[in-house]
């Protein structure tokens, strides 16, 4: 039980999401990833289950994108993370 409490106290550091649940925006010729956005159905699910909230969005430091059983870990700049409540209607 102590391990669970310690894990919750540290906050969320990593999040793993399947590539099909994301919209990725790339910058022209440089190949830089500019924006990662959750698709609306996945965003509503994560909002309802309180997996991503206004409070913990700034704590995410690593995004793991999963596709075909392979994972790509990307560093997240928490100061640039923006929480937008999903559209429910």
What DSSP assignment string belongs to 56-89?
TGGG--EEEEEETTEEEEEE--GGG----PPP--
Contact, 23 vs 39, CB < 8 A?
yes
Q: What's the pLDDT score for residue 55?
A: 83
* Domain ranges (residues) in the chain: 12-80
Asked whether residue 9 carries a pLDDT value surpassing 70, the answer given is no
What is the maximum alpha-carbon separation in the chain?
50
Q: Which CATH architecture has domain 12-80?
A: Beta Barrel (2.40)
Compute the distance between CA of residue 4 and CA of residue 7 in angstroms, rounded to an integer: 5
27-42 pLDDT per residue, tens: 888 888 888 898 988 8
54-82 pLDDT per residue, tens: 888 888 889 999 999 999 999 888 888 88
Phi-psi region at 69: left, alpha or beta (left = phi > 0; alpha = psi -120 to 50): left
Q: What is the pTM of this model?
A: 0.72
Q: What's the pLDDT score for residue 27?
A: 87
**Three-state DSSP class for 10?**
helix
Asked whether residue 20 carries a pLDDT value surpassing 50, the answer given is yes
């Amino acid at each position: 039980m102590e391990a669970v409490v310690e894990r919750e106290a540290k906050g969320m550091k990593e999040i793993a999401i399947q590539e099909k649940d994301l919209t990725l925006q790339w910058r022209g010729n440089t190949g830089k990833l500019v924006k990662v956005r959750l698709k609306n159905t996945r965003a509503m699910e994560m909002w309802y289950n309180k997996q991503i909230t206004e409070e913990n969005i700034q704590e995410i430091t690593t995004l793991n994108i999963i596709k075909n059983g392979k994972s790509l870990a990307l560093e997240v700049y928490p100061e640039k993370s923006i929480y937008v409540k999903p559209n429910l209607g």
